A and B are shown apart, each in its own frame.
Chain A
Amino acid sequence: MSGWLVPAADDPVGRSDTPIEISLDGEVLRGIAGQTLAGILISNGVSAWRTDSAGQPRGLFCAIGSCFECLATVNGETDVRLCRRRAQSGDAVTSQARSSS
């Protein structure tokens, strides 16, 4: 999946963007207020942030909260669906691997 964000100037709803910053495993990513955490990740070119038991990459799949593929730890809280969580500036996202314990 690739991220695609309409520039604010071209957006017919007259959006004004407030920039925010989050982190993924310590790396700073920029987004705009109102995006979901998954939205910020994919618009930064990150399409996978979890591995399954076979080591296969997992990320956004259904994007509507049903499939639970986009889980990550957010500010210490495990199993957060990134597609359902609106980003707050400073959110620390940590990827989850099946093999870790």
Chain B
Amino acid sequence: MRVLIVGAGIVGCAVARELSAHGVTVEVLDRSAPGSATTAHCEGNILVSDKGPGPELVLQQLSRRLWPDVLDAIGDDCGREVADSVEWEPKGGIVVATTADGAEGLTKFAAAQAEAGVTTHALSADEAHAAEPFLTRDFTAAYHYPDDAQVQPVAATFALLRGALHHGARIHPGVTVTGPVMESGVLRGVMTTAGAFAADAVINCAGPWAATVSASLGAPVNVKPRRGNLLVTTPQPATVFHKVYDADYVGAVGSGDADLQTSTVVESTRGGPLLIGSSRERTSMSVGISMISLEQMARKAIRLFPHLAGVQVMRAYGGFRPYVDDHLPVIGADPRLPGLWHATGHEGGGIGLAVGTAALLRAQLLGQPTPMGADDFRVDRPALLNGSGVAS
């Protein structure tokens, strides 16, 4: 079987590695460079803590189980240093509520997650401060999620791509899809700026540009960009030890509100700088950064970690999440166009969900038993087919 993957972000590269490791002939196309768009503008989160019971949580649990195995396989195939470059840090997350309402909401949310198999437990004030000595004393509830983890997302993407290349995959950077190659009503490849590529299946892994790619092939899906910004501090001594966030984050992730929302996420990176997020705003693909969102994020981060008030911000960056109105990814065959498949729409969870998505798609594509039900991610659901979603 020959498969074309459109988009060499974390999802496209995870799918490429998974399929090529199962004997599929894989070619990956990217209009720019691998891991250079949404993948390069995020925090590298692998979070179970922000997902309530439902299909996305099940996919995350699958993906969280698979990540260490995938890194081991990459280490075996490509050398331990390639796997180590990913900066895999299973550091755990701590979610903190700072109001009475927040504590009630967080406690209910955590109880429902525990019921769904998530490892989480409440921290007393002493336990929270033993875990995070610089955390504000002014909080109403804190929960620990030991399974939250972090990677350097671009390094992770390149490691996945290295794994795919090891199994014979080929990468074509700087190639833009311009249209379909059709044969008797079946998609048999794509036309590109570098000529035609033939395949038995085309997988749309184009993230926030998935609508544009699918529209150019004649089967549009309504995936929209949702803007996010992050602040980066100067390299710091070790003062933040987990992924620490305000319980507001969970509400912002699940919200469909188009207006600007910010919620605090603070974490250290191996190089020393702290990342402070995050904002969510549905906009066009404009690259300007909103100063209002940066200011809100900084204020909220100081509320969580008062010592940050004297810390310098070094830069800010932002990117686009692939957003679907019902907050679920799109994984599977497109019933409107035989030969077209999608693996996109992961919003802010693409890093965490990538390897689970790849395992699920591989099982679907090769007709194997799937590791979980995939019906909730199907393409022909109302949230995806209403409106074109094509980004300006």
Contacts and interface: CB of A to CB of B under 8 A. Distances in A.
A52 B235 contact: yes
B310 interface: yes
Chain A interface mostly: loop
Contacts, number: 32
Nearest to B310: A78
Contacts of A101: 237-239
Interface residues of B, number: 13
A53 B270 contact: yes
Nearest to B134: A101
Interface in B243-271: 270-271
A79 B310 CA distance: 10
B234 A68 contact: yes
Nearest to B314: A68
A100 B237 contact: yes
Interface in A32-74: 50, 52-54, 68, 71
Contact of A52 (B239, B272, B310): B272
A18 interface: no
B312 interface: yes
A71 B235 CA distance: 8
B202 to A, nearest CB: 41
Contacts of A100: 237
Interface residues of A, number: 14
Contacts of B236: 98
Interface in B223-242: 234-239
B311 interface: yes
Contacts of A97: 237
By secondary structure, the B interface counts as loop
Contacts of B272: 52-53, 98
Contacts of B237: 96-101
Contacts of B311: 78-79
Contacts of A53: 270-272
A54 B272 CA distance: 10
Nearest to B233: A79
B286 to A, nearest CB: 24
Given A52-B272, A53-B270, A53-B272, A98 B312 contact: no
Interface in B267-323: 270-272, 310-312, 314
Given A68-B314, A101-B239, A79 B271 contact: no
B133 to A, nearest CB: 9
Contacts of B310: 78
B270 A79 contact: no
Nearest to B270: A53
A80 to B, nearest CB: 9
A57 to B, nearest CB: 13
B238 A99 contact: yes
Contacts of A50: 235
Nearest to B234: A79
Contacts of B239: 101
Contacts of B234: 68, 71, 79
B312 A79 contact: yes
A51 to B, nearest CB: 10
A68 B238 contact: no
A55 to B, nearest CB: 12
A100 B239 CA distance: 10
Interface of B: 234-239, 270-272, 310-312, 314
Interface of A: 50, 52-54, 68, 71, 78-79, 96-101
12 contacts: A53-B270, A53-B271, A68-B235, A68-B314, A78-B311, A79-B234, A79-B312, A97-B237, A98-B237, A99-B237, A99-B238, A100-B237
Given A96-B235, A98-B235, A101-B237, 9 more contacts: A50-B235, A52-B271, A52-B272, A68-B235, A71-B234, A71-B235, A96-B237, A97-B237, A98-B272
